[in-house]
Structure formats: structure tokens, C-alpha cells
Amino acid sequence: MSKMTIKVLAAHLGLSISTISKALKDSHEISATTKSKVLQAAAEMGYIPNPYASSLRKQKSKTIAVIIPEVSDSFFAQAINGIETVATLMQYHTLIYLSHDSFQVEKEIIKHCSNGRVDGVLISVSKQTTDTLHFDLLKKSNIPFVFFDRDLENYEAPKVLTNDFESGYLAARHLFSMGCSHPVFLSPSDSLSVCNRRYDGFVKASEEVGLINQPNNFKVVDCHQQPENITSQIIQILQKDSNIAGIIASVEDLAIHGYLACLELKLQIPNDILLIGFTSIKTADLFSPTLTTITQPAFEIGKRAATILFELIDNKGAQPSNYPVILPSTLIQRASTGNLTKKA
Amino acid sequence: MSKMTIKVLAAHLGLSISTISKALKDSHEISATTKSKVLQAAAEMGYIPNPYASSLRKQKSKTIAVIIPEVSDSFFAQAINGIETVATLMQYHTLIYLSHDSFQVEKEIIKHCSNGRVDGVLISVSKQTTDTLHFDLLKKSNIPFVFFDRDLENYEAPKVLTNDFESGYLAARHLFSMGCSHPVFLSPSDSLSVCNRRYDGFVKASEEVGLINQPNNFKVVDCHQQPENITSQIIQILQKDSNIAGIIASVEDLAIHGYLACLELKLQIPNDILLIGFTSIKTADLFSPTLTTITQPAFEIGKRAATILFELIDNKGAQPSNYPVILPSTLIQRASTGNLTKKA
């Protein structure tokens, strides 16, 4: 089937391409009779004006981009749903891009977004991102953007975050109160601000109970590997230090692989070891044992970030607030932080 | 911060917009000296050519669209990863659109995609989709597309599917072999071809063991509701027919809410009722009891669909094969289909 182009339309009507083009643009150079003839034929033959051409005129893509590291995490799935409730109301399309936690990919995506293709960007940065030049490019292009969940700590931009420091503190206090004096904090990266803030809270709680902070209670587990490799990294951590009596999993994947590691090592949760995970996973109640979680308001974070973005889109040139919006998380206690028999 | 436009560039150089534009397009009307001056100033001042304009010339967006009903299902998360391995190799961007299982939204997305914005489309249709006019629009626009997982049964187009009929047959045979003679088949829709094929397999297996097929062993559960409502729909189904001794959950969400419903009704899995789910969920081993699954080759399905799409993009006008590619699923037996005490 041949594509219905302006060329085909011109040939059909016996007119020049330039005449057709001008008629479609409602140019004063073309007579009303010709315009009407062109429009009628275009409608009949199913001619669709090229969106690039029409966007050039309108300078509005009616599209926003959401850039996230991955889709297989409940937090991002729920945040996207929050974002889309707002975008749908605003009659915008939402494009989702995955950075796969690669700084290089993130930069490419931002470049792809930074020149009129989208009207705004919502982003949760990759774990490798420390450089900010690509965000400066967005600023220069006058395309508003809002960080959600994962931000760049010292970079000035609108942000919607959760209370990571307090949640890390709460998680650690909870493990201590259940009798665990030797927990380990698992993180997918040592440069991800969101996890570092959680760890800082963990450190503060440790200090309060008189534990001298040791750097080896922070362990990085590379989550961009085959599933069995993620589990085996945790197994190695637990084998190297048999005193570990609690795991704080700072992301969902680490909670799941924490379970699997304990299963392989025949460590009973919560008898031998406690487990708490930062996750909005909807199956926490189905796990054996059920999983204690720090549950983020994922849907609300997405919704709020989108609301701020549309305010910026509607009011281009407005100075966005650089104070982050903080929506608090909740500790939901379940069986994985129950009675610890081993007191390490 | 003002946007660096061709207008600003023209003002800076003291040249007309038309001259700048022609210089950037390497027009023969402009002298080599002027061209060089314009290009240098454009580079220095950070002028980015509008992609719509440059796409108009190149007619290549180097972008594909992936349209899926939702992201919170492991199948789609894994399929996307499969798609992206191919797209990355081809140096293409992947845009993910969510239809939220709405036909209206799906049509809007297709319209958004159907005019040069993307070079090809991968789609898993919404549960409401029965009409095909929007796909005809893609054909007319000469934009290749490939269905994956969820297709339109009688619509001729390239497809990558799994062996749904055989899997439904296998799932039912398995429940029968474990002593369950009264299973129920849960489906998110009565018009979704993928679930209907699974149900047809279920019916064939039922007939083979001498069970006269009854329409009330097929139950539709609306999954686009608040979580507690999904669970309560299943609770009602189980309460209305206390003979039910097995659940075949034809999508992941129904397996999860099947567990939750049994939990609320204090039905022990597998003593009182068996449960098998069509899902690629990575936590099947962590559930209590562990979940027997029909696991689809999600990553491979995504990879294969993308490979076919790029063949069509590279070779526009080629007649695509209308025979679906079938990648088989696997039954993985776990504890949720163990010893049934109740023999119904």
C-alpha cells in the first residue's frame, strides 16, 4: 500500500506540491475554491498531515517524557500510573523511556527529548548519574523537568521525593527494637542519592544505640545481572559475616533476592535473620514469611510530580521552586521482622 | 533563559531567517563562506535544529513504539527488556505507551504513532479491542507493526505469540491429575484472544476427562479496579460455588488476587484448593505456598517481535509473513498444586 503523501495528493488533483502545501496551510496566496478542493480530496484520500510539519507550526507536542531506570519495580509501575492520571486529564501523551541505569543511555534520551519532541520531562536518574550537563541542556532548551524519587542531590531543580533519611532511620530502629544488633544495609549503588539518604538514617539510628558505625555494614549489590548472580552476591555477603542478623534492602529487587539468598543458605526468616525492604510490592502479604516494608507513596509521588510539571509547561518561564516536595513513606510491619532467636 | 532559535541566530549574525535556514540545509543558493559562518555560530551558540524539521527531510525517526496495556505485569516488563536489547543494537529509541486496556486510548496512541513519529510499532492489544480500523490506518501509513502476546485473532499481521491453547490444556490436565475435578478459569475479559485460547485448551482437557463443559467455569474478573475490589470479585466467585477446588488464573494479577481471596476465606492452598497461574513472576518461589506457573518466554517474545519489526523497517514494502511465530511456555510445578485433600 503506498503512503498517502502530499505528492500523491498533488498528482491526483493535477496541482503542484507547493499549491497543495499552501492550501493546507490556509495561505492567502491560494483561492478559496482551490483550498476547498484540496481539503475535500485530502479528507477523502485519507491524507494525514505530517506531525513534524504541523508541530513546527504549533510548537506543542502535547507529549511528556518519563525517564526511569527500569519497569520491573513496583514503585515505578505505580508512579507511572499516578503520572498518567494527570497526563490524561491534560490530554497529553506519556512516553516512557528506560535508562537501564546507564548514564550514557540517559544522556541519549535527554538529547532525544531536548528539542521540541516533548513539552516536559519527569525523571528518576540512573544510578550512574553524577554529571549534570544533560540537564543543563534541557534548561537551555527551555523544557521544564521534575525529578521524582531519584534526584541529583545538589542540583537545583523541582523535585518530588520521599523522606528517605527518616525511613532509613525508622527501618534500622525497628530492627534494633526486634533484637537485631548487627544489620547489613544492601544498596544497588554507592552513588544513588536516594539510597545514600536511607543509609545516613540507618547510620544515625546505629549511633543512637551505641553501635560504632562500620563501613562494612553498607554493601553494594549489582542488580543489573542475571537473577542468580544477584542472589549469589547476597549469599557471599551473608557467608563472609555470619554475625549478620538483619537485612535492610534499600530497593525491591534486593528484598526479593534477600529472601532467595536466605532460602539457599537455609536461614530462617525471622528466626535466624530479619528482613525489611523499601518497596511498594503488592505481594508483600503473600511471601513466606510476609515481608515488612517501608512503603513509598508511589502513585502520589508520580501524580504530584506530573502536576508540578504541567504547571511549569503552562507557565513557561516561571521560576520553579527548588524546595523538594516530600511525601512520607510508611513502615508496615509484617512477619519478616518477627521474633529473632539468634541475638547477634 | 531564552531558547536558542533560528531567529536569535539570524539576529546575532545580521542575516535573514531564510538565509540561515538555507545555510543549515546546505542549499546551493548560499555561498560556502556564509554556510561556514552560520554553522560555526550555530555550534557556538548551542543552536539545536528542530527534530521535526530534520525528520521531515530524513523521514526516519529512529524510534519505535511499544504499546502495552500496563507495566505492572512481569510479562510486559520482561518483554520490554527483550525488545530493548534489539532496539539498542539497532541504535533506536524505544517509546513505551500504556493503553490501560482502553480501546479509546489505544486508538489515540496509534493515531499519535501513525504519521512519521515512529518507524514501527510493537503492540499487545487492549482487552477491549475488537475493531481493526486503527491498524488499517497504520498499514495505510506504511508503518510496519507486529503483535506480541495479545493479538487480534483473525486480523492478518505479523505476530509473536505463545502456545496458549496447549498451555491452557496443560494447566487443566495438571489440575485434574492432582485430584481436582471442579476447577474455575479466571479471565480479565471475555474478548481477549490470548485468554480465550487458554480457555479453549482448558475446555478440551475437561472434555477428555469426561467433564461436560459448563459455561460457569469461565469467570470474568475486572482487573482495572482497586486491589481490594479485585480480590473481592474472586471471593464472591468462590463463595457462590463451594465445590470449586482449583483456580486457573489466566493472568498474573488474578494469580495474586487468587491467593489473597483464599487467604481471606481461610482456604488452604493446596489442601482445600489448587492454584496455577499464567505468569513470569520472579517471586513464584517466595509465595506461601510457592506458585505453580505456566511461564511464558517473555524476554524471548519481546526480542523476536522486535527482530521481525526491524526486518520490516529495513525492507519497507516487503510482504510480512502472516503466520504467527509461536514460542512455547513451560509448566513449572510448585507447591500450590500439591496434595488436594478435598476431592470435589
Per-residue pLDDT of chain A (344 residues; tens, 9 = 90+): 345 677 778 888 888 888 888 777 667 778 877 877 877 777 666 665 554 444 444 457 889 999 999 888 899 999 999 999 999 999 999 999 999 999 999 999 998 888 778 999 999 999 888 888 888 888 888 899 999 999 988 888 999 999 999 999 999 999 999 999 899 999 999 989 999 999 999 999 999 988 875 667 999 999 988 889 999 999 999 999 999 999 999 999 999 999 999 999 999 999 999 999 999 998 999 999 999 999 999 999 999 999 999 999 988 767 777 789 999 999 999 999 998 886 54
C-alpha A101/C-alpha B212 separation (Å) is 53
CA distances from A11 to A31, A286, B57 (A): 19, 65, 20
Find chain A residues with C-beta within 8 A of B134's C-beta: none
C-alpha B309/C-alpha B315 separation (Å) is 10
Strands B292-295 and A330-332: unpaired
Q: Binning pLDDT at 50, 70 and 90, where does residue B48 land?
A: low
pLDDT at residue B339, rounded to an integer? 85
Positions of CATH 3.40.50.2300 in chain A: 63-161+298-326, 164-296+330-337
**Taking a contact as any Cβ pair under 8 Å apart, which residues of chain A between 255 and 284 contact chain B?**
256, 259-260, 263, 282-283
Residue A183's SS3 state is strand
CB B309 within 8 A of CB B120: yes
Closest listed residue to residue A262, CA positions, set A286, A295, A291, A235: A235
Closest listed residue to residue A181, CA positions, set A257, A75, A89, A273: A273
- Cβ-proximal residues to B66 (8 Å cutoff; 6+ apart), any chain: B80, B83, B94, B95, B96, B97, B121, B122, B123
Partner A contacted by B59 (CB < 8 A): no
Closest listed residue to residue B327, CA positions, set B310, B307, B304, B306: B304
Partner B contacted by A72 (CB < 8 A): yes
A264 CB burial (10 A radius; 0-12, 13-18, 19+) = middle
- The distance in angstroms from the start CA to the end CA of chain B is 72
Exposure pattern of B291-329 as b/e (b: 16+ CB <10 Å)? bbbbbbbbbbbbbbbbbbbbbbbeeeeeebeeeebebeb
CATH number given to A6-49: 1.10.260
Find chain A residues with C-beta within 8 A of B84's C-beta: 98, 100
CB A122 within 8 A of CB A146: yes
Domain at B63-162+298-326, CATH class: alpha beta
Which of the 8 DSSP states describes residue A149?
A: S
CB A40 within 8 A of CB A98: no
Find chain B residues with C-beta within 8 A of A288's C-beta: 286-289
Among A58, A61, A72, A101, the residue to mutate for chain B (most B Cβ within 10 A): A72
Half-sphere exposure of A88 (CA within 13 A, CB side): 17
CB A188 within 8 A of CB A195: yes
Question: Which region, left, alpha or beta, applies to residue A70 given φ > 0 means left and ψ of -120 to 50 means alpha?
Answer: beta
Q: Using alpha carbons only, give the angle A331, A337, A340 rounded to the nearest 5 degrees.
A: 150
pLDDT at residue A130, rounded to an integer? 80
C-alpha A62/C-alpha A95 separation (Å) is 11
Closest listed residue to residue B167, CA positions, set B200, B141, B143: B200
pLDDT at residue A215, rounded to an integer? 65
Partner A contacted by B11 (CB < 8 A): no
Mean pLDDT computed over B2-25: 77
**Residue holding cell 552560520?**
B38
Domain A63-161+298-326 is classified in which CATH homologous superfamily?
Response regulator (3.40.50.2300)
Positions of CATH 1.10.260 in chain A: 6-49
- Which of A71, A109, A282 lies at the smallest CB-CB distance from B80? A71
The x, y and z cell numbers of residue A154, run together, are 545538589
The x, y and z cell numbers of residue B192, run together, are 481477549
Instruction: Write out pLDDT tens, residues B144-168.
Output: 999 999 998 888 899 999 999 999 9
Partner B contacted by A285 (CB < 8 A): yes
Positions of CATH 3.40.50.2300 in chain B: 63-162+298-326, 164-296+330-337
Strands B145-148 and B120-123: parallel
Instruction: Write out pLDDT tens, residues B219-265.
Output: 999 998 888 999 999 999 999 999 999 999 999 999 999 999 999 99
Closest listed residue to residue A300, CA positions, set A331, A332, A333, A329: A329
Nearest residue of B to residue A269 by CA position? B286
C-alpha A30/C-alpha B257 separation (Å) is 63
- The answer, yes or no, to whether ipTM is higher than 0.90 is no
Give A43→chain B minimum CA distance, Å: 13
Give B109→chain A minimum CA distance, Å: 8
CB A9 within 8 A of CB A45: yes
Q: Which CATH architecture has domain A164-296+330-337?
A: 3-Layer(aba) Sandwich (3.40)
Average pLDDT score, chain B: 88
Closest listed residue to residue A270, CA positions, set A294, A292, A240: A292
Q: Binning pLDDT at 50, 70 and 90, where does residue B53 land?
A: very low
CB A119 within 8 A of CB A282: no
> Looking at the predicted structure, is the pLDDT value of residue B63 above 80?
yes
Partner A contacted by B116 (CB < 8 A): yes
pLDDT at residue B80, rounded to an integer? 95
pLDDT at residue A202, rounded to an integer? 95
Partner B contacted by A141 (CB < 8 A): yes
SS3 readout for B105-172: HHHHHHHHHCCCCCCEEEECCCCCCCCCHHHHHHHHCCCCEEEECCCCCCCCCCEEECCHHHHHHHHH
CB A320 within 8 A of CB A308: yes
Give A96→chain B minimum CA distance, Å: 5
Q: Using alpha carbons only, give the angle A286, A287, A293 rounded to the nearest 5 degrees.
A: 95
**Taking a contact as any Cβ pair under 8 Å apart, which residues of chain B between 166 and 185 contact chain A?**
none
Torsion of Cα atoms, B49 then B52 then B56 then B62, to 10°: 100
CA B67, B68, B72, B74 torsion: positive or negative? negative
Instruction: Write out pLDDT tens, residues B67-116.
Output: 999 888 899 999 999 999 999 999 999 999 999 999 999 999 998 888 77
pLDDT at residue B199, rounded to an integer? 95
Listed in order, strand segments (DSSP E) in A130-268 are 145-148, 159-161, 183-187, 218-220, 246-249
CB A18 within 8 A of CB A56: no
Q: Binning pLDDT at 50, 70 and 90, where does residue B26 land?
A: low
SS3 readout for B258-301: HHHHHHHCCCCCCCCCEEEEECCCCCCCCECCCCEEEECCHHHH
**Residue holding cell 493515531?**
B111
Closest listed residue to residue B30, CA positions, set B40, B41, B22: B22
pLDDT at residue B211, rounded to an integer? 82
C-alpha B191/C-alpha B229 separation (Å) is 21
Partner B contacted by A43 (CB < 8 A): no
CA A18, A19, A25, A28 torsion: positive or negative? positive
**Residue holding cell 537501564?**
A100
CA distances from A13 to A16, A53, A81 (A): 9, 22, 47
Closest listed residue to residue A270, CA positions, set A247, A297, A239, A240: A247
CB A121 within 8 A of CB A92: no
pLDDT at residue B18, rounded to an integer? 84
The secondary structure of A88-124 as a DSSP string is: HHTT-EEEEEE-TT-HHHHHHHHHHHTTTT-SEEEE-
Which of the 8 DSSP states describes residue A291?
A: P
C-alpha B24/C-alpha A152 separation (Å) is 36
Find chain B residues with C-beta within 8 A of A25's C-beta: none
Dihedrals phi, psi of B148, to nearest 5 degrees: -135, 140
Instruction: Write out pLDDT tens, residues B182-223.
Output: 999 999 999 899 999 999 999 999 999 888 756 679 999 999
